[in-house]
Amino acid sequence: MAKTNQEWWPQMLNVDILDENERDVSPYDEDFDYAEEFQKLDLEEVKADIRQVMMDSKDWWPADYGTYGPLFIRMAWHSAGTYRTADGRAGASGGLQRLPPESSWPDNINLDKARRLLQPVKLKYGRKLSWGDLIVLAGNVALETMGFETFGFAGGREDEFKSNEATVWGPEENWEETSPERFEDGEVGNLKDPLANTVMGLIYVNPEGPYGEPDVEGSAANIREEFSRMAMNDEETVALIAGGHTFGKVHGADDPEDHLGPAPEGAPIDEQGLGWDHDFDEIPGMITSGIEGPWNDTPTQWDTGYVDNLLDNEWTSVKGPGGAWQWTPVDADDVEDAPGAQNPEESEEPMMLTTDVALKHDDDYREVLERFQENPDEFQEAFAKAWYKLIHRDMGPPERLLGPEVPDETFVWQDPLPDADYDLIGDEEVAELEEAVLDTDLSRTQLIKTAWASASTYRESDKRGGANGARVRLEPQRSWEVNEPEELETVLETLEGVQEEFNGSRDDDVRVSLADLIVLAGNVAVEQAAADAGYDVDVPFEPGRTDATAEQTDEESFEHLEPKVDGFRNYLGSGDYDDMYDTPEERLVDKAELLNLTVPDMTALVGGMRSLGATYGDSDRGVFTDEPGTLTNDFFDVLLDMEYEWVSVDEDDEVFEVRDRDTGEVEYEATRLDLIFGSNARLRATADVYGADDGEQELVEDFVDAWTKVMRNDRFDLE
């Protein structure tokens, strides 16, 4: 197969990931509204169809214990469990488990069969039911059918039809490997951002233990780090593991390397998308992980059997029939056998994974286990809430959740917002507020930087962040270095004064939120900057944002939204970071992808912000203009001008002087975040357009469009 450009030149900045924000590869037409279609479903009918599939064992893939329930739970868990807090990517939304690489991960062996079993349900409901929703709903139905009371289910996961190439899974080149490059400073137990899994191709951690060895202490450490990167605390972690392992079994009748065919993406065409071909005539038992056995004697029933078995017995590590490390009871007579998965007349001895035994040997995890054993109702509630969080963590605020089973209760991890208990401002009030903002002593640059600081936290991946809520005035955001806390404080105090004066003067129910006022102030600053350049633009503004409280804000979880680098404000950060991105410009593109920007969007925003002087610390770096605060194309004019040369002035090649080629005089200072728009071929091709003599109007128009997109990204109420 021919090499890609990226393979020919590995150091080339990959901006192609932004193209996914440019075009829709869905086969549905542009008017398709999945939320509207989902609401047409009779959810009880769908669940009945899933139950029917679940209890109908097929000869081509026979069900364990007469039900596919445990298989569906594993499918849902592995779909949702890829989510990570660092960048909000992965998770159940999009139905990405059916696309590579997840479709062919070693940890997802035979989940292709689970989805194929559900194909008739998907075909029946078509566009009304996405794979993302069906996979998660099947897990819920399975739990309920086996006696567990779930906390609820929300639809709304629109399917993707192409893998997200922006998701970084790790540095390894082979599956089921763990390399030192996965960890900061090469130290195991300190994963590099944005990673969450410790092994390439596994959802969480190696079930045999770190590096495939039955090390319970190391396993507990890996579990804690991994689950914390999924936003789970110790109680939620234990509840999820104990609750999930209450059902079903693991499969290792023999070594998977010897008896399984290639993964789906590498399988022959006649397999029609199925992989891991298994000859049941040769090896009658099933093979998945290579670990064999159930966890308790009631693998299709909700109870405390897993917790009781783990705590009440001693376990020793052995190599199972599949050649993998697992744990067997020291005194087998004390542990009740489970029925055979395929023949209830037979029996199977329960086992434990290294990751199970690790919970028992970790003091904090064990305390939770013992509490669950003593209080089964508390265990039930903890698992219900942790499972609900697991399968909905990537869906954003509660207003995006659809269907009759959405619970009334909301949680702080959902970033809830208050309802507006007032009338919204209209055109007349907007004009009044714009004048009030312009009458303050705040500069355009201050207004633009504050609006950007508020809105640019948004992540399309998990629908977190954004201007709605005005959380820029709350911790931790108001203290982030990139937001220049002292200057931010000045701007917020001034805008709060405008808000108070406006709201206090009203004799009706019309009020303005600070969230709306911050965006409006940024918009009017952009309009003024464009006007000074000779362009009459109207930056769209829609009121309706409300102000979140500190109680509605999970301060710790918002730390993950703090940018290490912000290329739009030319903020290089401390440079003291060890993550999966090698250069500041890679972090710029990554942020642009999360903001749902295209290559022209990113280019116009960076060039425009530089001309506006909206840089960190009001630095002159990248401000290639004699008229800062005016929306011109001066940045691109200088960038493309061969009258200048670029000379590095630091050992990291992050800061450069822009010198006159003839005189050697330093005209400007710049960073890599500026030079990349002249260095990278695709970015330079776009810069050519904006830097042309007739390109300034195009720049202004594109800047306004991209600015508006960022300001509106989290306005789900407008969709």
By the 8 A CB rule, do 409 and 401 touch?
A: no
User: Is the CA virtual torsion 418, 420, 422, 426 positive or negative?
Assistant: positive
**Terminal alpha carbon distance of the chain:** 42
Q: What percent of the chain has pLDDT over 70?
A: 100
pLDDT the model gives residue 101: 96
CA pair distance 654, 296, nearest whole angstrom:
58
CA pair distance 599, 686, nearest whole angstrom:
8
pLDDT the model gives residue 1: 67
Phi, psi (5° rounding) for residue 667?
Answer: -95, -40
Phi, psi (5° rounding) for residue 602?
Answer: -60, -45
pLDDT the model gives residue 279: 79
CA pair distance 510, 504, nearest whole angstrom:
10
CA pair distance 716, 458, nearest whole angstrom:
12
In whole angstroms, how far apart are CA 698 and each of 478, 599, 609, 678, 709?
34, 14, 15, 18, 16
Q: CB within 8 A of 496, min separation 6: which ones?
A: 514
78 assigned to active site:
yes
In order, the DSSP letters of 148-213 are -------B--PPPSS--TT----S-SSTT---GGGBGGG-TT-BPTT---SSTT-SSS-TT-GGGS
pLDDT tens digits for 156-208?
A: 999 999 999 999 999 999 999 999 999 988 777 789 999 999 999 999 899 99
What integer best gives the mean pLDDT of the chain? 96
pLDDT < 50 regions, the chain: none
Query: Minimal CA–CA distance to 710: which of 396, 424, 444, 465?
Result: 465
**Catalytic entry in 78, 245, 251, 278:** 78
CA pair distance 307, 372, nearest whole angstrom:
8
